[in-house]
Amino acid sequence: MDDHPLQVQALPAVLRAPDVAKILGCSRSTVYELCHQQKIPHIRLTAHRLIIPRDALILWLQTCGEFRITEKPETSNEKVG
């Protein structure tokens, strides 16, 4: 990733998964998985094609603060109470 700040208004109004992956610094498959989990706002055009509106992505980033991949919760053997 370069040291230049991201100029969000310079981004196209509609982004593809590889574009979002580059912005977030993750893999393309992670973007697809987050979309499948309904975590990233997107529009599915066909069974194999989706787009992410720039403004919806910006709002999502502002409201969630960061993106997280849901993992299994850790189990504990300690009893409560």
All structural domains of the chain with their residue ranges: 12-64
pLDDT of 51 reads 97
* Stretch (H or E) spanning 29: helix 28-36
pLDDT of 72 reads 45
Longest dimension (CA), the chain: 55
pTM, two decimals, is 0.69
Beta strands in 1-81 (DSSP E): 14-15, 43-46, 49-53
- Entry field: residues in the chain: 81
Give the number of C-alpha atoms closer than 13 A to the C-alpha of residue 34, restricted to the C-beta side.
Answer: 24
For 37-80, the pLDDT digits (tens) are 999 999 999 998 999 999 999 999 888 855 454 444 445 555 55
**43 token code pair:** 């529009």
